[in-house]
Amino acid sequence: MVDNDLYRVYTQIMDYTNPKNCLTFKAQRVARTMGRQMEMALKPVGLTNQQFTTLTILNSMESVTVSELAEMMGVERTTMTRNIEQMRKKSWLEQVPTKDLRIRAYEITKSGKQQYSMAIPLWQEQQKVFIGALGNEAVDGLLSLSMRFS
């Protein structure tokens, strides 16, 4: 439920002719900026931010289908399929058999686990940078907000 008074205040101060005042635009811009910073942090070990997240999920589960991975990561299934294929070529993931041959599932390989292990300290350092830049209140708010949308 939206607080009508709060909505009125925001709509009075926001200029809707400028897309920079859109909350979606603001959230996407922050996400892209943080994503680029994480990409730079993970570059020394040859991982992208999305690859790191994929390895994180697969490292904590026995096997996961493409659809499950796409859902967990909030991306289209076709995007996830392309990303998985890149990771398979690097031997970080392997396809595993499923009861339904139409469904593809994957698990992390030994090489993928090694790659993931090398990335963890880089990820941790970048998390410290984000927390320092955002501050505790914004981090708490972001974590709370993410729980509402998951």
Q: Smallest Cα–Cα separation from 41: which of 113, 115, 96, 120?
A: 120
pTM: 0.83
* pLDDT value of residue 26: 85
22: confidence class by pLDDT, cuts 50, 70, 90: confident
Q: How far apart are CA 98 and CA 63, in angstroms?
A: 10
Amino acid identity, position 81 = T
2: confidence class by pLDDT, cuts 50, 70, 90: low
* pLDDT value of residue 122: 98
Decide: 66 and 104 in contact? Cβ < 8 Å: yes
- Rounded to 10 deg, the angle between the 66-73 and 49-59 helix axes is 120
DSSP 45: G
User: Which percentage of the chain shows pLDDT scores above 90?
Assistant: 71
Within 13 A of 102's CA, how many CA atoms are on the CB side?
0
Q: How far apart are CA 148 and CA 25, in angstroms?
A: 19
Q: Which of 5-14, 51-60, 119-128 has the lowest mean pLDDT?
A: 5-14
Q: Which of 2-6, 55-59, 122-126, 128-132 has the lowest mean pLDDT?
A: 2-6
